[in-house]
Structure 1
């Protein structure tokens, strides 16, 4: 019995031939609308490109539609967000804000709260560097987001991780580092009062 020659393994598709997702098409649609608002393309061309974007099946087809437009700033280009508690405390959220790749929170004397529940995050991972110091730091992440706290030093105040490990596809991972300091660090999902507020004002900016 003669041995069968090995079957050739399938070759990976070139990046441009990879299938685009709904989110990929939506990102191009948003970039095209911004370009029209800035006067870079006229309304007729916008309509034509939007139609093509919605029909595009691959990255290459989408890339053609924005090849002559300047690259917009991405979340990776944003400077780190630095919050210092000071005497009176500091917070970011729960309104709309764009999440950069690096967040630094220092509790100081007044404490810091970082609320991601209404944030716009286009990253797969966000580095959050926290120092509880005297008044502590609280991090609130939406249901479906997950946290990695293995890089944290709990310090005297400790670390309380009340998040669930059930990460939904396409959501970011919050990678926590730093120290709990005197007052500690808490990372959690929204509490009952925060959930009620989210449900009663789902589009609050």
Structure 2
């Protein structure tokens, strides 16, 4: 009986390399990387043989791996988050709200006792492809609004009296950020949903 093949060890095709190269050229045009970085990363892309070797030059760019490779390879392996990198948003009985285009870090800690934390990521122009979110609600409420294509894994969230509601897919997709959510929901609630603006756009055309 054969073993299970590691998705990251799957061989990539010339089309996959070209898709990755196009993404790098686009990133240059958007001002995300310099010409020197483009040349360096292209060298890595064209030398890559597997999905794992194709990750590094694309890891800090929106979208990450080309869709065909991402679908086969699955999500990037999680790395431990340095506490110093985690941005902490907290409230006692008040409200913390972020909307529009705001700087979203790759690691968040959200703490509320009896208040509300409402974070809308739907209009943020540059988002990390993977966002680690640690939650602690007490009796409060946390609401996370994701852009089209956003996904969230809430398997790491525990709680006996609280409520966890997610209206987005759990597995990473080829577009949009992927949230890995963990922590505790005491007697409060955690809600993760897509943007209602996107829903109205789909309805109204």
Please give the range of the TM-score, normalised by the shorter of the 2 chains. 0.5 to 0.7
Q: 1:107, CA displacement in angstroms?
A: 2.1
Q: How many residues align?
A: 154
**TM-score (structure 2 length as normaliser):** 0.59
Instruction: Let me know the Cα RMSD of the aligned residues.
Output: 4.0
Return the offset for 1:105.
Answer: 0.9
User: After the TM superposition, which residues 53-92 of structure 1 pair with which residues of structure 2 at under 5 Å, given as runs?
Assistant: 59-60=42-43, 79-92=85-98
**Structure 1 runs of 4+ with >6 Å offset:** 74-78
Which has the larger Rg?
A: 1
Partner of 1:126: 131
Task: Classify the secondary structure of the residue corresponding to 1:144.
Answer: coil
- Structure 1 match to 2:65: none
Report how far residue 177 of structure 1 moved.
Answer: 0.3
1:186 aligned to which of 171, 188, 191? 191
Once the 2 structures are TM-superposed, how far is the Cα of residue 138 of structure 1 from its aligned partner? 0.9
Contact 2:114 2:137 in 1 (8 A): no
Give me the whole-angstrom Cα distance separating, in 2, the residues matched to 1:163 and 1:32. 31
Relative to structure 1, the CA distance from residue 164 to residue 83 in structure 2 (aligned partners, 3 Å threshold; closer, same or farther) is: same
On the 8 A contact 2:132/2:179 being kept in 1, the answer is yes
Gaps of 5+ in 2: 1-10, 46-59, 62-80
Partners of 1:115 and 1:134 in 2: how far apart?
A: 21
Once residues 117 and 170 of structure 2 are traced to their aligned partners in structure 1, the CA distance between those partners, rounded to angstroms, is 24
**How many angstroms does 1:103 deviate by?**
0.9
Q: 2:105 aligns to what?
A: 100
More strand by share: 2
Contact 2:156/2:182, CA 8 A, preserved across alignment: yes
State how far apart, in whole Å, the 2-side matches of 1:21 and 1:168 are: 20
List runs of 5+ in structure 1 lacking aligned partners: 1-10, 34-48, 63-73, 200-205
